[in-house]
Chains A and B, each alone.
Chain A
Amino acid sequence: MKFFVSILLTALLSFVSGLYLPWWGMALVSFGVSALIGQRPWWSALSGFLALSLLWGLLAWMIDTGNNSILSHKIAQIFPLQGSSLLAIGVTALIAGLVGGLAALSGSYMVGRPRVADAD
């Protein structure tokens, strides 16, 4: 349960953070949510990773659909991604996921080991 709550909360608050803060605001969110909702470190990391990669991936995918992939196709040539819009979305998701996962891991280590009974 905590796992899914973490994912939802991280994604939601990161989206709000993105409206007002620079892109790395989501790392603070991921860190904070993970510190608040105690999980085993690697579960925390996984929820941080999934939350942010899903958030960025989904946002990018929605924008890309509305844009008929005009721009992503070009960016995926400037970066060596074979002109693939899907790969551009993938890289977007991966960057966010890595940051989210690591930030969540740090947050989790900060509060220490959660009580075993809460882990799920």
Chain B
Amino acid sequence: MRIVPFLISTAVTAGLIVGLNRSWGPIPPLGSFFSPQHGFWQNADPVGKDYSENLVLPGLKEKATIYFDARLVPHVFADNSEDACYIQGYLHAKFRLWQMEFQVYAAAGRVSEILGRGPGDGYLKFDRTMRRLGMVTGAEKAVAEIEKDSTTKKDCDAYTAGVNEYISRLKESELPLEYKLLNYRPEPWSNLKIALFMKNMAYELAGGEDDFEMTNAKSIFSKEDFAKLYPSLRDSLDPIIPKGTVFQKPSIDLKIPATVDSLYLGNRDSALVWEHKPEKANGSNNWAVSGKKTLSGRPILCNDPHLGTNMPAIWYEMQIQTPAYNTYGVSFPGAPYVIIGFNDFCAWGVTNAERDVRDYYQVRFKDSTKREYWFDGQWKAADKRIEEIRINGQESFLDTVAYTVFGPVMYDNTFNGSSIRRSDKYYAVRWTGDDPSDELSVFNNMRLAKTYDDYREAVRALSTPGQNFIFAAKDGDIAIRQQGSFPAKWKKQGLFVMPGEDSSYLWQATIPGDEAPALKNPERGFVSSANQPPADSAYPYYLGGDYPIYRGLIINRYLGRMDSITPRDMMKMQTDNYDVFAEMARPLLLRYLNESQLSMDEKKYLALFRDWDLRDDANEKAPIIFREWWSRFEDGVWSDEFSRTTLALKRPDESVLLEALLKDSTFSFVDNINTAAIESLRDVVTAAFIQSIPVLEAAEKEGRFQWAQYKDTWVRHLLRLPALSRMHVPIGGGANCINAANQFHGPSWRMIVQLTDKTEAYGVYPGGQSGNPGSPFYDDFIDKWAAGKYYPLWVMDRDDARDKRVKWKITAGKGDLPTGQVN
């Protein structure tokens, strides 16, 4: 033995192995990661992989068969609801485990546990936001509600068991790629995680508000200016419930606080908070047309929810059949049931209600220990919850959250959101998402629904996020309801931060479900929604919230003049790129442009804009000119007033500016207050046009002078890794088009269902059925989605087992199966 070289060589070998067996910052353990028998190579599914197998699943009560079609959509045939949910959990885990767990981590404020504190402590701040909003306590309450409902409880138990069955058999080599990249392992699933997943949706869709921005605006602008900047309704609004509808008298009589003028509306205090917010563009379209307007004489229902265009996709498509029901549609990996889809009798879909269900109260604590706060004339003890936020590679962060009668204290002397400025103001949050609710029972009941009455009963349980729940049935009914738990508020309640020292500012009641804005079989032959206000000022309750209006306008305009509608017409409409905002803004811009100031080159762009067909199609040029021009115009109008402060503010919506100028070209904000001269609308419009020219010229020179390239839509991996994303997807549309494809956001599932005797349905989503970036099924729907094309949705019958559309088959039983058994 050569002792010295042996020792040196062995030490180097051991060192190398140890070094390759651990992660270095963002670099995963290279040894296991590159091992063809353990690491990422194991995730490189062979093209043409065989998904057929016989499975022994001890948690099943009876047996189940899963047929996969060529798109890897499973058609599940189970003998009872629990087995169906068990199989659903198993399949979600098999194809989407990483994303469902990661989204639950996000909801529970556990991102730092995987990714560390993040740049500028960003992940830690996000986690604190989620904890302080009460996401976990809210989910715990939701689990308690689920326990009360025997069906949902049994189904959730079965779903969780199915997920855990898959996790328990997962070998290291089979871990989804992201676990290997980030070097961690999945935890057991639970019903709490299902509830957390649903809370994540509640946050994304009903967690937004602008209370601090509005409070700051109130502190800066005069009352008159505030009314101009933030009007509650728009002239061009076409609400979900048509104008002129008469509503019944409200059953709730609200008491306005005696101090409302002095302490609330007249209060000029500002706040230093900068909030983390859900994506503002989370919205959607849905509509249903009655048989009067269709070629088949039967209703057609359409829905396209707009969410982050993420990979792996938020949706997992499937058919589930038991002797009691037969549903087809998309499900959330992370929860049981079909969320948007249809059964043999009816179809349903949702858009976001956009109501304001999250308010703030400024609470006064005795001292910075947050032990006691002043409420109704005495000191009251606050509950405390200590949140341990684990941080990858570091010590845990302990966050103490005080709970008051209003809700958890979200912002305080230790936390001001993403703002680094400290203040000693305490803001408690009141959010309907923190209340007990059982949203899953809605989808449990919808799979069984046959008639309008069933639907009406099923949607009652929908609390948060509130949705415009649309319905159409084979018996001919169409309907829409804005369903959810909406607090009955007096005018402007919760628009600003409210005084939190007595009970007079508390929410007083929830609007009864029977008084929800609703429409059934209207004369005009269609119902629709696109996140616009549910009603005009005739609705007897204060609506609050922040609503886009343009998609709703164009949808109703199209539907109003269409007849003999076919599913093909609906496809054309759902992917339509007509920009109705541009239609209204262009005359204004052209009227006030001073053409005599323009050079020949500049006039070339003007001609493109003037001749534009107002479509935001992928290959158009004019939408770029319009966007550049309009955004500079907005800057010209607002930036002087809005840059006077470093406080969080919100610029008025583009519809506010446009409508103000259509009414009054001498709108006071047009003038630049930083100059001695008085600028006219003509000056600002013309300057904005001239300023946009260099950007347009640069885009043209760089070959980006086409709308799709300029807008640059991505279907983006949840970790935002470009390599795992589909970048530069050639798709037109935009925020104000029905085809609302933005950069990282857009139609996340387009569905069209014609309710003929044999249902005729079409759908597509930006992604693929497999969540594995190494699978050909990871992103195979994206090109079709971008091109505005659809897949026919195959509702398989039990007798279709030998149909050539069946590509693979999983036979599952609870005990040993004889090989080759045919169901």
Contacts and interface: CB of A to CB of B under 8 A. Distances in A.
Given A112-B1, A112-B2, A66 B31 contact: no
B13 A27 contact: yes
B742 to A, nearest CB: 24
A74 interface: yes
A70 B13 contact: no
Nearest to A64: B44
A63 B35 CA distance: 12
B34 A78 contact: no
Given A27-B13, A70-B776, A60 B6 contact: no
A78 B47 contact: no
Interface string A67-83: 11011101101100001
Interface in B689-735: 721-724
Contacts of B30: 95
B151 interface: no
A34 to B, nearest CB: 11
B10 interface: yes
Given A18-B35, A70-B775, A75 B21 contact: no
B31 A99 contact: yes
A8 B185 CA distance: 35
A112 B316 CA distance: 61
Contacts of B722: 77
Given A24-B31, A102-B13, A78 B20 contact: no
Nearest to B29: A23
Interface string B1-26: 11001100110110011001100000
Contact of A77 (B6, B36, B723): B723
B773 interface: yes
Nearest to B46: A66
Contact of B44 (A18, A70, A77, A105): A70
A74 B37 contact: no
A31 B6 CA distance: 11
Interface string B299-317: 0000000000000000000
B35 A111 contact: no
A103 interface: yes
B45 interface: yes
A56 interface: yes
A102 B32 CA distance: 17
A66 B40 contact: no
Interface in A77-120: 77-78, 83, 91-92, 95-96, 98-99, 102-103, 105-106, 109-113
Contacts of B16: 98-99, 102
A18 B2 contact: no
B680 interface: no
Looking at B34, B38, B42, B43, which has the most chain A CB atoms within 10 Å of its CB? B34
A59 interface: yes
Given A74-B723, A77-B722, A95-B30, A18 B37 contact: yes
Contacts of A95: 20, 30-31, 34
B181 interface: yes
Nearest to B6: A109
Contacts of B763: none
A18 B774 contact: no
A63 B37 CA distance: 10
Contacts of B46: 63, 66-67
Contacts of A15: 37
* Interface bin, chain A: 35 or more
B51 interface: no
A83 to B, nearest CB: 8
Contacts of B134: none
Contacts of B5: 41, 109
Interface string B35-64: 111111111111100000000000000000
A103 B44 CA distance: 29
A68 B31 contact: no
B21 A63 contact: no
A95 B776 CA distance: 27
Contacts of B181: 78
A60 B31 contact: no
B41 A74 contact: no
A67 B44 contact: yes
A56 B36 contact: yes
A70 B177 CA distance: 13
Contacts of A22: 21, 32, 38, 172
Given A23-B38, A67-B45, A77-B722, A102 B12 contact: yes
Looking at A22, A31, A64, which has the most chain B CB atoms within 10 Å of its CB? A22
B723 A106 contact: no
Given A74-B723, A109-B2, A112-B1, A99 B35 contact: no
A77 B725 CA distance: 11
A71 B44 contact: yes
A99 B45 CA distance: 27
B21 A24 contact: yes
A1 interface: no
Contacts of A71: 40-41, 43-44, 177, 773-774
B13 A92 contact: no
A66 B44 contact: yes
B331 to A, nearest CB: 25
Contacts of A60: 34, 36, 41
B36 A92 contact: yes
A41 B17 CA distance: 20
Contacts of A56: 34-36
Contacts of B773: 70-71, 74
Nearest to A78: B723
Contacts of A68: 47, 776
Looking at B17, B41, B46, which has the most chain A CB atoms within 10 Å of its CB? B41
Given A70-B44, A75-B723, A106 B9 contact: yes
A112 to B, nearest CB: 5
A71 B180 CA distance: 14
B44 A102 contact: no
A49 to B, nearest CB: 12
A78 B42 CA distance: 17
Nearest to A88: B34
Contacts of A110: 1, 6, 10
Contact of A23 (B6, B37, B43, B723): B37
Contacts of A64: 41, 44
A15 B776 CA distance: 27
Contacts of A113: 2
A92 B723 contact: no
Given A63-B41, A74-B723, A106-B9, A27 B34 contact: no
A23 B31 contact: yes
B221 to A, nearest CB: 48
Interface string A1-28: 0000000000000010011001110010
Report, nearest first, the 3 A-B pairs whose CB atoms are least far apart: A71-B774, A77-B723, A59-B36
Given A56-B34, A72-B44, 11 more contacts: A18-B37, A23-B32, A56-B35, A66-B47, A67-B46, A71-B44, A78-B181, A96-B34, A99-B16, A112-B1, A112-B2
19 contacts: A18-B38, A22-B38, A23-B32, A23-B37, A24-B31, A41-B2, A63-B46, A64-B41, A66-B46, A70-B47, A70-B773, A71-B43, A98-B16, A99-B17, A102-B13, A105-B9, A109-B1, A110-B10, A112-B2
Interface of A: 15, 18-19, 22-24, 27, 31, 41, 56, 59-60, 63-64, 66-68, 70-72, 74-75, 77-78, 83, 91-92, 95-96, 98-99, 102-103, 105-106, 109-113
